[in-house]
Structures are given as C-alpha cells and as structure tokens.
Amino acid sequence: MLPMNYAILKLFENGDEYDAEMVMAKLAGEYAKFRAFKKANVIESLMSAEKNEILEQSRYELDDADELHIYYKATEYGAGLIKQYIKAK
C-alpha cells in the first residue's frame, strides 16, 4: 500500500481531474480507516502538490450548499514525475 499522499498523486497521473471529495471517494476502500484520512488533510495534500507544481487548479464551482469545490489536474511536469517516481505496489 502506498503512503496516502502518494496514492492521492497517483490518481492524477493520467490527466484525470478531481476535487478533494472525489479523491476521498476513490481512496476510501484502502484508506478510510486511517486517522489522517480527513478532508482537511486531503485538501492540504492537494494544495501542497499545487505549490510544488505537480498539480494545478483546473476549475472550481459552488455546489447547492454553497460549498466551494476546487478541481485539480496534473501539470505536464507533475504527470511525468508521478509516473517516474511513484510506483504502484
């Protein structure tokens, strides 16, 4: 099993676009029992990857409850980095 932050990045390697809730839904099967598996931690991981130019914001929207959803996708540099250095186990 990959560390959670690596698993988050691995989702983006093929150009897919996700927000924090979508990331959590994709990883819930493996990581739901982890204490760190909280929305705030997933958002922090996404923002950190953005700051390091691995991910970039692709769009944002408000849902019906006026909650902001920020969607991310891998940069060209980031996708190559993820594919090269994060290997699925």
Domains and CATH numbers, the chain: 4-85 (1.10.10.10)
Divide the 89 residues of the chain into consecutive groups of 10 and give the mean pLDDT of each group. 95 96 98 96 98 97 95 97 88
CB 55 within 8 A of CB 72: yes
Q: Considering the entire predicted model, what is its pTM?
A: 0.92
Which 8-state DSSP code applies to residue 60? E
Distances (CA, A) of 25 to 20, 32, 45, 51, 84: 9, 9, 15, 23, 25
What is the model's pLDDT at position 1?
87
What is the model's pLDDT at position 88?
76
